[in-house]
Amino acid sequence: MAARSKKKSLVDLSDVKRQAGTRQHNRTQIDSFGRPAKKGGADFFDSLPRFLKAGELNEFVALTAKARKKGRPFHLMLGAHNIKVGLSPILIDLMRRGSVTSLSFNSAGLIHDLEVSFFGATSEDVQAGLADGSFGMVKKTAELFAAVTHLASKRSIGLGAAAGMFINGERAKHRKVSLFGRAVALDLPVTVHIGIGTDIVAQHPEYNAAEAAEASHLDFRLLASLCTEIDQGGIAANIGSAVILPEVFLKALTVARNVSKHKSRLVTANFDMILQYRPMQNIVSRPTAGCGRGFNFVGHHEIMVPLLAWALRREFER
């Protein structure tokens, strides 16, 4: 008879060796960020053939502009890679112009936005950090995230709103390129949907899983409320989240349809570097079945998002 295995002890996170201050080497610096395109571009978009993805991109842009002109929402779900490749100024311009009305992120997006806001840089060499156990071990990042979750708990607000309030309240040096800071300043709803253990902050003793989870669940309820409006002629686009945000969106939309009996009508789009199963099902196909239109576009974010923003500006200015 095999001997019973001993109960495994839990790792004490206060034992982890951490880097004080900010990260020494970052792969993303704000001086390399993109910027909004100047007025123009009509000739370029009009010159595209009306076939396949070129035609679909123009169609999606036209539907989005039409919806916004009718007062319908345009909600963006953003994977963290959007921040890592310098798209924040372009997305902020869409927010400022009223093209985008609300945003959702996974917690990696919040982490990168915090680092950009306070350090002016983000993104590390994961392979090198994994080899020596230093990946994600910057103490200051964990402290910033913990401060946001504590503020959310103290004020009984969602993680997204707390993040924007914290960044602006602390007058972070680079808050002008913070998606969360700008969303709160512009009074736009912003939500964060966490996965416990999926992000570097869970490696640190400051991480309060209860505070983070409670605040994120408030954001889920907010997203469900937003989905009630999106589902009545609005637009929702997922850019770069392969799993978490497509799954969260499907559940939030289910709640919206459960508590608010209305005739569903919406347009969705997915933008990613490769074809992904969950976004295709949970963003493009299932939500729009029999009640709308779903689009899928494959391409690198640092090219596709500026192209989308340029097209939207051109369509709104017609």
Domain at 122, CATH number: 3.40.910.10
The mean of the pLDDT values for the chain is: 94
| Domain contains 18 | no
Supply the Cα-derived Rg of the chain in whole angstroms: 20
Residue 36 lies in a domain: no
User: For the segment 120-179, what is each residue's pLDDT rounded down to a tens digit?
Assistant: 988 888 888 889 987 878 999 999 999 999 999 999 999 999 999 999 999 999 999 999
- In this structure, is residue 6 part of a structural domain? no
Structural domain for 223, as ranges: 50-316
Q: Is the pLDDT of residue 3 over 80?
A: no
Its pTM surpasses 0.75:
yes
Tokens for 26?
Answer: 């970052």
Q: Is residue 2 part of a domain?
A: no
As for how many domains the chain has, the answer is: 1
Burial 135-168 (b: 16+ CB within 10 A, else e): bbbbbbbbebbbbbbbbbbeeebbbbbbbbbbbb
Could you tell me if residue 172 is inside a domain?
A: yes
Cα(66)–Cα(83) distance, rounded to whole angstroms? Answer: 28
- Residue 198 domain-assigned (yes or no): yes
Residues whose CB falls within 8 Å of the CB of residue 52, separated by 6 or more in sequence, listed in order: none
3 belongs to a structural domain? no
In a domain, 14, yes or no: no
Strand 28-29 with 121-122, pairing: antiparallel
